[in-house]
Amino acid sequence: MARSDPLRRAGPLTVVGLALLLGALSAGYTWIMVRHLRNEARDTSRLLGRVFAGLNDPGPEAVTGTLLDLAARVRALGIPIVVTDTNGHVTAMDNVPPRFSGDTARMHTWIASLDLVNRPIVQPGVGTIHYGELPQTEELILLAALQAIAFICLVALAARAYRAQVAAARDRLWVAMARESAHQLGTPLMGLTGWIDYLQENPDTRGKDLVEHLEADVDRLERVARRFEHIGRPAKMEAVALGALAERVVTYFRPRLPTLASPVTLTLAAPDTGPTASADPVLVEWALEALIKNSIDALSGRGGRIDVRLETAGPVARVRVRDDGPGVPAQVRAHLFEPGVTSKPGGWGIGLALARRIVEQQHRGRIFYHPMPAGSEFVLEFPLAAPGSIASTLPA
């Protein structure tokens, strides 16, 4: 981490520097191109002017003077030109680098390199004309190469930043999953600890209710321990009576809600044990608990009401969880179901992300948020089970 931190801090500055360099190179490339085109237009106009002037001059030396002037203009442009006869001997040349002029073998090698750039011109009675490029071409090629290097560096930095972002999101997700598992295990453990303390203070206590609460906490510990085995595997689809499943969840939460300061009321409206959905009961229970806990957290310190309602809407079974809390801030709604997004102080933003993964990725259902005039409403939709399926009422 000590080595990566300086690199991470220097990353944005490097990206800005490369972006400025790429912009400067682009501006320089454009400026050179504009200058080159202007000079080319000016020189071509001058050459044509000299040609027309020579053709219109009746003097005997006019044509010769025009040709000499054209040769001077070509020399001024800096275009390398070599003229060879039918036997390949050099008969004329201009703008040739001095290192080639005295070496026949190197001269022919250089002429061959010119022919690779521009196809030679065969002129009857004169010979073959070999010519190269303007000197500005090398500048443009150099700038284009520098632009390509800067662009590749930007792409490499962007890819590295993306990988770092993915790795950081994965790390946050693992931490959040650990916190979520600890939180889920903590609720029944605290309940068991409380009952143990009560029994230690009241050793003669007997009662069926106490046994039922202990059994509920132990049963929840077992189910929570098995939940994380399901999240990374394909959902085990079966006919699930969502009404009975919701009743189990609500029954577990009710005795654990605050009743004195800032009391919270939890209600359930369901058509008997239905509707019956095609789903994995363990995962569906987890998603429903995440929504109810989200509402409980929203009502923390202020109290209120949570309503769970089940209904059938065409081909889907729908579960609505509504509370009269403060609602979700507008700036958070667009990313509400993403890992790490939360409006709660100290929250890790994993519950709603897990619920979306369970509903949408593992059940091909839908989860969405409805802002209310006072409070929030989350909706889960699951595909209905095929008619005649035997419904399982409780998760294994």
CA distance 93 to 83: 6
* Contact residues for 261 (Cβ-Cβ < 8 A; gap 6+): 303
Torsion over CA of 14, 18, 20 and 22, rounded to 10 degrees? 180
CATH no. of 235-383? 3.30.565.10
Identify the pLDDT of residue 357: 87
Tell me the domain boundaries of the chain: 79-133, 235-383
Give yes or no for residue 27 having a pLDDT over 80: no
CA distance 147 to 57: 50
Q: Which amino acid is at 167?
A: A
- Per-residue pLDDT tens digits for 295-348: 998 898 888 999 999 999 889 999 999 999 888 888 888 888 877 666 665 555
Do the Cβ atoms of 315 and 384 come closer than 8 Å? yes
158-178 residue pLDDT tens: 777 778 777 776 666 666 666
The pLDDT, as a whole number, for residue 244 is 93
Per-residue model confidence (pLDDT) at position 4: 47
Does the pLDDT value for residue 183 go beyond 70?
A: no
Angstrom CA distances, 352 to 89, 320, 330, stand at 83, 14, 16
pTM higher than the cut 0.75 = no
